[in-house]
Structure 1
Amino acid sequence: MDRRQGLSVRLKLTLSYAGFLVIAGALLLAAVWVFLLRGRSNSLKVPDRSDFLRVFDPSNFGPVVFVPAGILVLTFLLVFGLVGGWILAGRMLTPLIRITDATRQVANGPLSYRIRLPGCRDEFRELADSFDTMLAQLEAHVAEQQRFAANASHELRTPLAVTQALLDVARNDPDHDTGELVERLRVVNTRAIDLTEALLLLSRANQRSFTREHVDLSLMAEEATETLLPLAEKQGVTIETSGDMSITIGSQALLLQLTTNLLHNAIGHNLPEQGIVWVTTSVRPHTVVLTVENTGEKVTSQLVSTLTEPFQRGIERLHTGHAGVGLGLAIVKSITQAHGGTLTLTSRPAGGLRVTVQLPAASAHTQTGGDQA
């Protein structure tokens, strides 16, 4: 935005200090005139040079010498206010200068720079601390995006490289079994498509570009269970669903994807036989809760803290089959944040994982006005 050049803040503060001193001095002199000199018999006249020589003579103190003395006092206050105000304004604005220098340095350098303004808490230091916090969040976000881009490139390169290798084999060996080649190409291509769709879904959730409507999480849990029931039966996993009607406001498609990802993850990372998945929904004050628990191997807290990172697959799946693209829980996290909710992952003492998704209830959305995309 183009702005016209104006007075500096330091100059404005200086003029304000000086103006205040002059006004205060004028009021003081006026008070002295009204209450001390108004009753004197000396008539007010324009002073000459001899009057200035009698300023400090007590016998001649009156309106004649009061006026030039007042002018001298006001002149002194003006000069003193300008000089003192300039010095004081400079000292007061020193933290702001440091903040300005920091913004220029960050704009042209790394995001790791921090102001770390010393001293007690005041407006400038709160501004500096907020700026440091913003820089820390921005640095973490940029680093996360860089890791995501690198991982996505690696994941996309793998199926493309495999496809290239298979095609090279087919070209160099015309007598190779084409049926096996086509099947392997189909599997690799399916993985690439799944990864691309997952990336698009993750981007859509991060941008929050979706229409909001009333969604019942209990219905999402039932639909996801019905969809994945054949997979669960094939792998010997029992799904138990329970809970109350839990209505929030958001995207039905994204919340269904969230529930499906959680359930698919719980089925895939389970016991080799007689595994169980519990899916429950509940209502709390101002929030609705979706909880997905599963049996399985014990998971360390260190591993749990990394499971929502993109392309983090955690422990090996105990069931053979499609290994996923490593974005399941990352998509769940993004969808949860896009709906103003919180995602909590905890390991179960007996083994397995408990995932809790808390979203604002529909009534809470109504009270606060809700977000409109």
Structure 2
Amino acid sequence: MIARRRGLSLRATLTLSYAGFLLLAGVALFVAGLLMLRFVPDGHLFTGPTGTWAPGRADLAEVFMKYAGWAFAALTVVGLGGGWLLAGWMLAPVGRIADVVRRVDAGTLQRRIALRGRRNELTELADAFDGMLDRIERAVEEEGRFAANASHELRTPHAVIRTIVEVARADPAGRDVDRVLERVAATNERAIATTEALLALARAGRAGLRFESVELPPLVAEVVAEARAAGARGGRGDGLTPTIRLEAGAAVAHANPALVRQLVANLVANALAYNLPEDGDVVLRTGATSAGEVTLQVANTGPVVAPDVAATLTEPFVRGGGRTRAGDPGVGLGLTIVAAIVRSHRGELEITAPASGGLDVRVVLPAA
């Protein structure tokens, strides 16, 4: 925080400004009156056949100066008093905003300014601050849920490993070392996958990323080739593997290459892992829009997903109920990482659940 010396309050400054402008107006009228007196003849004046006396310039100047002094005193009082009241009335919304800010600083995020009145600079400031509080409250709630879910997800594998070890110790005679090691290794791999996903999510939300021109078609083709190779190595041997098709259109995005690659890999992995039946289709499309943006669309077949479930798939550790394939449960962070990457690129993410089943994910990124 910047150390500042104490200065005049805004109300006092406005009051002095109002009084100063009022006195300047009085000075202008005073000068105008003096200029008008120049047109009055000097000396004692007598008019009419009877010689009636009329005031001259000196007489009028004397009276003018006397009443001008009283007028300046009255303008000073009215300017300071009226300016103080007017400034207080104008700055009342600022006090309300400051009160809400102090309460927010004390940890209360539920209060809102809710300033009434027509649209002006103060109401726009209050509405902008209320909007910021809404976003902060949602972010705090999401981070709280994320921390709780992350703690649970990271604790579960260790608890499982401890249980496996305790069971093996309790029955030394019936201990199957190979089976124990296999289960411990599988649980440990799940913990590693969860940790890596959390690290990827933190990296996706990091500021200060470097952006450059990224051609989507070759990058998507590379990720698809890796997915096909991994599917061939890990296939079940019955030929029931999803068919991956790439419909590549020209698309050059202004993005971070590593994060875009992570985005594509997560979408492809999500489409393959939750594609039931396993002989379904995964279609990837790249292209550009007339608005100067690039698009990536990943659509997969599968069972019908309820719209309310599809709307929550970007939340941490949320999985599509009934879509997880045995032996590949995932950690529920794939689409969460995708959403974070899209936000870091100021893009758009749209997830729809077609009536025929499966998911249709569309990503819009700024073009290079």
TM-score (structure 2 length as normaliser): 0.90
1:194-237 Cα distance to aligned partner (Å, 9 max, x none): 00000001001101454433322112221221122155563421
Q: Assess if the C-alpha contact under 8 Å between 2:37 and 2:60 holds in 1.
A: no
Of 265-274 and 292-301, deviating more is 265-274
**What is the rounded CA distance, in whole Å, between the counterparts of 1:273 and 1:62 in structure 2?**
106
3-state SS of paired residue (1:215):
strand
1:122-162 Cα distance to aligned partner (Å, 9 max, x none): 11111111111110100000000000000000000100100
Q: Assess if the C-alpha contact under 8 Å between 2:114 and 2:130 holds in 1.
A: yes
User: Superposition pairs for residues 1-373 of structure 1, below 5 Å?
Assistant: 1-36=2-37, 38-42=39-43, 62-175=60-173, 176-208=175-207, 210-230=209-229, 232=231, 234=235, 235-285=240-290, 286-317=292-323, 319-362=325-368
Q: Assess if the C-alpha contact under 8 Å between 2:273 and 2:328 holds in 1.
A: no
Call closer, same or farther: CA 1:63–1:211 in 2, change over 3 Å. Answer: closer
Of 273-282 and 89-98, deviating more is 273-282
Of 28-37 and 105-114, deviating more is 28-37
Q: Assess if the C-alpha contact under 8 Å between 1:240 and 1:277 holds in 2.
A: yes
Q: Assess if the C-alpha contact under 8 Å between 1:40 and 1:62 holds in 2.
A: no
Q: Which residue in the other structure is 2:48 paired with?
A: none
Structure 1: which 5+ runs fail to align? Answer: 44-56, 363-373
3-state SS of paired residue (1:207):
coil
Q: Which residue in the other structure is 1:51 paired with?
A: none
Call closer, same or farther: CA 1:40–1:133 in 2, change over 3 Å. Answer: same
Q: 1:314: how far off?
A: 1.3
3-state SS of paired residue (2:205):
helix
Q: Assess if the C-alpha contact under 8 Å between 1:232 and 1:267 holds in 2.
A: no
3-state SS of paired residue (1:62):
helix
3-state SS of paired residue (1:204):
helix
Q: Assess if the C-alpha contact under 8 Å between 1:14 and 1:82 holds in 2.
A: yes
3-state SS of paired residue (1:292):
strand
Which residue identity lines up with residue 355 of structure 1 in the other structure?
V
Of 177-186 and 278-287, deviating more is 278-287
3-state SS of paired residue (1:93):
helix
Q: 1:116: how far off?
A: 0.5
Q: 1:23: how far off?
A: 1.3
Q: 1:9: how far off?
A: 0.9
**What is the rounded CA distance, in whole Å, between the counterparts of 2:34 and 2:257 in structure 1?**
80
1:269-315 Cα distance to aligned partner (Å, 9 max, x none): 22324301111111223211110001111222211110111101012
Q: Which residue in the other structure is 2:49 paired with?
A: none
Of 158-167 and 57-66, deviating more is 57-66
Q: Assess if the C-alpha contact under 8 Å between 1:37 and 1:63 holds in 2.
A: no
**What is the rounded CA distance, in whole Å, between the counterparts of 1:116 and 1:64 in structure 2?**
57
RMSD: 1.9
Which residue identity lines up with residue 259 of structure 1 in the other structure?
V
Q: Which residue in the other structure is 1:47 paired with?
A: none
**What is the rounded CA distance, in whole Å, between the counterparts of 2:335 and 2:120 in structure 1?**
41
**What is the rounded CA distance, in whole Å, between the counterparts of 1:97 and 1:126 in structure 2?**
15
**What is the rounded CA distance, in whole Å, between the counterparts of 1:80 and 1:58 in structure 2?**
34
**What is the rounded CA distance, in whole Å, between the counterparts of 1:252 and 1:41 in structure 2?**
90
Q: 1:42: how far off?
A: 4.1
Call closer, same or farther: CA 1:97–1:58 in 2, change over 3 Å. Answer: farther
Which residue identity lines up with residue 290 of structure 1 in the other structure?
L
Q: Assess if the C-alpha contact under 8 Å between 2:348 and 2:364 holds in 1.
A: yes
**What is the rounded CA distance, in whole Å, between the counterparts of 1:35 and 1:287 in structure 2?**
70
Q: What is the identity percentage for the equivalent residue pairs of Structure 1 and Structure 2?
A: 44
**What is the rounded CA distance, in whole Å, between the counterparts of 1:273 and 1:305 in structure 2?**
24
Which residue identity lines up with residue 271 of structure 1 in the other structure?
L
Of 204-213 and 331-340, deviating more is 204-213
Call closer, same or farther: CA 1:245–1:211 in 2, change over 3 Å. Answer: same
Q: Assess if the C-alpha contact under 8 Å between 1:232 and 1:239 holds in 2.
A: no
